[in-house]
Copies of this chain bind each other. A is one copy, B any other.
């Protein structure tokens, strides 16, 4: 990706487009290299040349196709509010069009290290990075004495949302994000963040 040897932009665009179409129409499980190549009018080798695994192609197709996976982490000075905003943004993404796809990819990456890397890099790392930065600012203030490390806080906040996406996706809504945000805020001793 971003490889300077890349020659035929049109072939690759066709691949991503066809892959995205198949994902949209028949689900990510229906994506096969063979099928994408056929739909894109492209040789299989061309796909194998530029994507290391089926999963990497899926991630690419999702990310390239949409900017909607973006999560903004803002700093309003109120950590609890910022946390809530972020979790609501996450909920919106995972309950949106790409929710089932994200769940499938998260599942599929359990068996595909290439996909794991691609998915981490494209989906998780940006948000984790941003929120880590936000936490750094927060730690500069007082009242963070008993806090665990960043990753624990991140998993405490994100974990419930993704877990529910995977196990009971029908129960995902913004209220859940509010609840989780409130609970995490209270766990961190941000008392004013208590819901209501």
Chain A residues within CB distance 8 Å of chain B: 27-29, 100, 103-104, 106-111, 120, 124, 146, 148, 151-152, 155-156, 158-164, 166-168, 171, 176, 179-180, 182-184, 186-189, 194-196
Question: Residues of B contacting A167 with CB < 8 Å?
Answer: 106, 120, 124
B111 near A110 with CB under 8 A, answer no
Q: Which of B110, B155, B195 contacts A164 (CB 8 A)?
A: B155
User: How many copies of the polypeptide does the oligomer hold?
Assistant: 4
Question: Residues of B contacting A160 with CB < 8 Å?
Answer: 152, 155-156, 159-160, 163
B189 near A186 with CB under 8 A, answer yes
Q: How far is the CA of A171 from the CA of B148 in the complex (A)?
A: 14
A-B pairs with beta carbons under 8 Å apart, 19 shown? A27-B111, A100-B110, A106-B167, A107-B111, A109-B166, A148-B183, A151-B168, A151-B171, A152-B160, A152-B176, A152-B180, A155-B163, A155-B176, A158-B163, A159-B161, A159-B162, A159-B163, A166-B166, A183-B184
